[in-house]
Chain A
Amino acid sequence: MSAASEAETRFEREDTRRRWLLSTPALLIILVAAVGPLLVVLLYSFLAPGSYGDVRWQFSSDAWFNVFLERDIFDDTLAPAWAHLSIFWRSMKLAFITTLLTLVFGFPTAYFIATRDERTREIWLFLITIPFWTNLLIRTFALQEVIRQEGLLNTLLLKLGLISQPIPMLFTDFAIGLGMTYVYLPLMVLPLYASMERIDFRIVEAGYDLYASRFGVLRRIIVPLVKPGIIAGSILVFIPSLGAYVTPRVLGGGKSMMLGNLIELQFGQGRNWPLGAALSIALMAIVMIALLFYVRNASRGGPTHG
């Protein structure tokens, strides 16, 4: 081994050590106050439910069995747990649509902010987050007031003569879409902004010389440049919205369950903590695998490892 490569190895080792040191505080806090305690939940998923909530210290695999399979309440036949699957599917769909909607509305908004002059940029950024200083429930109730039958939007449209009858909006899919976009928009806009803010517009200018069309420039230059932001934003919207149920309930009427209330039900009135634990661990595993897969694919070819 040459001296040069030896020095390089030493440098690399040193670098890795420093990188571990730098990430220690974050890893430690998450270990203590998020992931570590989850081991308790993992343990609980293998116990029997207590008769008034909590668990009985007795091994049982019922919870895991019931995540995937169920015996019919009435004729005892064994079948896949369709109820769980359909609730899971509904939440996935909602999270996907929410991510798409926040991207469609958040991208132009972030772009708008990033292209303001340097002085006002941070002000616009603040303006995006200020509505979120108010409580989620209060905000959702306010949104209800905007879209209800006798609400602000209908009254406005009626007064302007644009419609002759109030449009029913509350308790529709439109309401859920609107509400979810509303609630999750900053989670998309802020990461997008973070990666857009430093777009070098000389590259964009050069792009116009080559592609000429605005859409071409957007697709071939801007989007690839802000890809890390798109990835980060999508993760921050998709995963939390998987567990959302307050907005679908208050605005959509909540006639169908979401994953969030299915799991909460087991820890509350359902008094089946082991099932709640097993359901959430299953969910976590699926999301984790999907995330790693997504990040690996999405960042391929991108400027990830500079």
Chain B
Amino acid sequence: MQWKQTVLGLGLALAGSTGLAHAEGELNIYNWGNYTSAELIKKFEDTYKVKVTITDYDSNDTALAKVRQGGHGFDIVVPSGASLPAWINDGLLLETRPDQMENFKNMDPQWVDVPFDPGRHYTVPWQWGTTGMTVNSSVYKGDPNTSAIFLDPPAELVGKINVLPELTDIMPLAIMYFGGEQCTSDKELLRKVRDKLVEAKPKWASIDYGNVEKYAKGDAAAGTNYNGASFRARLLNKDIVYGYPKEGYPVWMDNVAVLKDAKNVENAKLFQNFIMDPQNAAMISAFARYANGIKGSEQYLPEDMKTAPEINVPAEFKAAGKFNVTCPAEAQALYTRIWTEIQK
């Protein structure tokens, strides 16, 4: 039996030195903070005997910067659709062809030919959502489905509005309010946008994240917000409603991709396939409180999410939703200037 041990030892040593040993049982996921269901990970670990490590990031820019520099050790990353072109152009992602995976049949067809990954050669949807309006209906009885809520606020909302501190959410909303296209560099239109933002700002209470307490406890009565956050606020205060601006609103989607320098490619692919299972996708949604892109997951969702108007976009508002995109550098430079100017 001696030779067997020797061979085994040699094999292990070899595998260790080439990094193959990792492929046996590890997976390093780099995801947005507070976004990964522990239950889902547990199930994945038990099913495939893989040890999963989760590491958090707080923005696409941080994640991109870190992965670009290398030496990070991650296998999987979950960038927003808007930033995916940067990842793909820089050759950071592995073409894992999720479209040929077993569970791809569960993909909701509307999310297959997305502009940031046509045909899904790289990525699998994780969660998606919208940026719209949160309104306290006990303060304002009118129509919440308009960006006028924060750009031309009705008298009863003046001084009670919170605006997200995210240039990439607010600029598209303001541009679409004037009928423009995202990423426009039309100066005439941008001048209107800037003037409107400058005019509206004194009527806001704050520029901050729309945490649940802010609306539920009445620090703010309306504002721009993510649908999932608005949903949670409604669960605490039934007067809260979510509005889909009819002038146009951004839709975002975070997607699971495998990094080119991943050490555990096979496990990463398994994970991509794993989350396209409706039951597993529902676990993510139950934790993160946003929609996933998998057909048939609805039945596994918690009761309060099944019919929530924040999560299931009503048919009449679907058309106004536009995928968030990353703008060309020139347009972005203009937007940064405007964003700085209104807060100077």
CA distance A99 to B97 in the complex (A): 57
Chain A contact-residue range equals 35 or more
Q: B344–A49 contact, CB under 8 A?
A: no
CA distance A269 to B62 in the complex (A): 10
Q: A150–B208 contact, CB under 8 A?
A: no
Please pick, from B208, B334, B339, the residue contacting A254 in the complex, using a CB distance under 8 A: B208
In this assembly, does B190 line the interface, its C-beta being within 8 Å of a C-beta of chain A?
yes
B170 CB to nearest chain A CB (Å): 10
Q: B344–A51 contact, CB under 8 A?
A: no
Binds B, one of A79-87, A211-219, A225-233: A79-87
In this assembly, does A270 line the interface, its C-beta being within 8 Å of a C-beta of chain B?
yes
Residues from 166 to 222 in B contacting A, C-beta threshold 8 Å = 166-168, 187, 190-191, 194, 201, 204-208, 211, 213, 217-219
B236 CB to nearest chain A CB (Å): 13
Q: B329–A271 contact, CB under 8 A?
A: yes
A94 CB to nearest chain B CB (Å): 14
- Nearest to B169 among chain A residues (CB) is A269
In this assembly, does B4 line the interface, its C-beta being within 8 Å of a C-beta of chain A?
no
Residues of chain B within 8 A of A155, CB atoms compared: none
Q: A249-B207, A255-B201, A255-B207 are in contact. Are A74 and B340 (CB under 8 A)?
A: no
B325 CB to nearest chain A CB (Å): 12
Q: A73–B334 contact, CB under 8 A?
A: yes
In this assembly, does A59 line the interface, its C-beta being within 8 Å of a C-beta of chain B?
no
- Nearest to A48 among chain B residues (CB) is B329
Residue-by-residue, is A239-269 near B (CB-CB < 8 Å gives 1, otherwise 0)?
0000000000110011111000110011111
Please pick, from A52, A74, A82, A256, the residue contacting B64 in the complex, using a CB distance under 8 A: A52
Residues of chain B within 8 A of A267, CB atoms compared: 61, 65
In this assembly, does B59 line the interface, its C-beta being within 8 Å of a C-beta of chain A?
yes
Q: B340–A83 contact, CB under 8 A?
A: yes
Chain B contact-residue range equals 35 or more
In this assembly, does B326 line the interface, its C-beta being within 8 Å of a C-beta of chain A?
yes
Residues from 98 to 154 in A contacting B, C-beta threshold 8 Å = 141, 144-145, 148-150
Q: A256–B329 contact, CB under 8 A?
A: no
Please count the residue pairs between chain A and chain B whose beta carbons lie under 8 angstroms apart in the complex: 104
Q: B206–A51 contact, CB under 8 A?
A: no
Q: A73–B187 contact, CB under 8 A?
A: yes
CA distance A53 to B85 in the complex (A): 13
Residues of chain A within 8 A of B68, CB atoms compared: 54
- Nearest to B162 among chain A residues (CB) is A253
Q: A255-B201, A257-B343 are in contact. Are A272 and B336 (CB under 8 A)?
A: yes
A168 CB to nearest chain B CB (Å): 10
CA distance A70 to B341 in the complex (A): 12
B189 CB to nearest chain A CB (Å): 11
CA distance A207 to B334 in the complex (A): 64
Residues of chain A within 8 A of B206, CB atoms compared: 171, 249, 253-255
CA distance A54 to B329 in the complex (A): 12
Residues from 322 to 344 in B contacting A, C-beta threshold 8 Å = 326, 328-329, 332-334, 336-341, 343-344
Q: B334–A53 contact, CB under 8 A?
A: no
Q: A148–B217 contact, CB under 8 A?
A: yes
- Nearest to A49 among chain B residues (CB) is B329
CA distance A141 to B211 in the complex (A): 10
Residues of chain B within 8 A of A51, CB atoms compared: 328-329
Residues of chain A within 8 A of B340, CB atoms compared: 83-84, 87, 257, 262, 265
In this assembly, does A189 line the interface, its C-beta being within 8 Å of a C-beta of chain B?
no
CA distance A105 to B187 in the complex (A): 51
Residues of chain A within 8 A of B38, CB atoms compared: none
Q: A150-B218, A171-B205, A257-B343 are in contact. Are A73 and B167 (CB under 8 A)?
A: no
In this assembly, does B90 line the interface, its C-beta being within 8 Å of a C-beta of chain A?
yes
Q: B219–A149 contact, CB under 8 A?
A: yes
Residues of chain A within 8 A of B166, CB atoms compared: 269
Please pick, from B61, B205, B217, B333, the residue contacting A268 in the complex, using a CB distance under 8 A: B61
In this assembly, does B89 line the interface, its C-beta being within 8 Å of a C-beta of chain A?
yes
B269 CB to nearest chain A CB (Å): 26
Q: A73-B190, A265-B339, A269-B166 are in contact. Are A53 and B207 (CB under 8 A)?
A: no
In this assembly, does B16 line the interface, its C-beta being within 8 Å of a C-beta of chain A?
no
In this assembly, does B165 line the interface, its C-beta being within 8 Å of a C-beta of chain A?
yes
Q: A73–B338 contact, CB under 8 A?
A: yes
CA distance A271 to B339 in the complex (A): 13
Residues of chain A within 8 A of B344, CB atoms compared: 82-83, 86-87, 256-257
Residues from 66 to 96 in B contacting A, C-beta threshold 8 Å = 68, 83, 85-86, 89-90
B interface residues, Cβ below 8 angstroms from A: 59, 61-62, 64-65, 68, 83, 85-86, 89-90, 165-168, 187, 190-191, 194, 201, 204-208, 211, 213, 217-219, 326, 328-329, 332-334, 336-341, 343-344
- 30 CB contacts below 8 A, A to B, read A49-B329, A52-B86, A52-B89, A52-B90, A52-B326, A53-B86, A54-B68, A70-B337, A73-B190, A84-B340, A150-B217, A171-B205, A171-B206, A171-B219, A249-B207, A249-B208, A254-B165, A254-B206, A254-B207, A255-B204, A256-B344, A257-B343, A257-B344, A261-B165, A262-B340, A265-B340, A266-B336, A267-B61, A269-B166, A271-B332
Q: A51-B328, A73-B334, A255-B206 are in contact. List 6 more A-B contacts (CB 8 A).
A: A53-B65, A82-B344, A253-B208, A257-B344, A267-B61, A271-B329
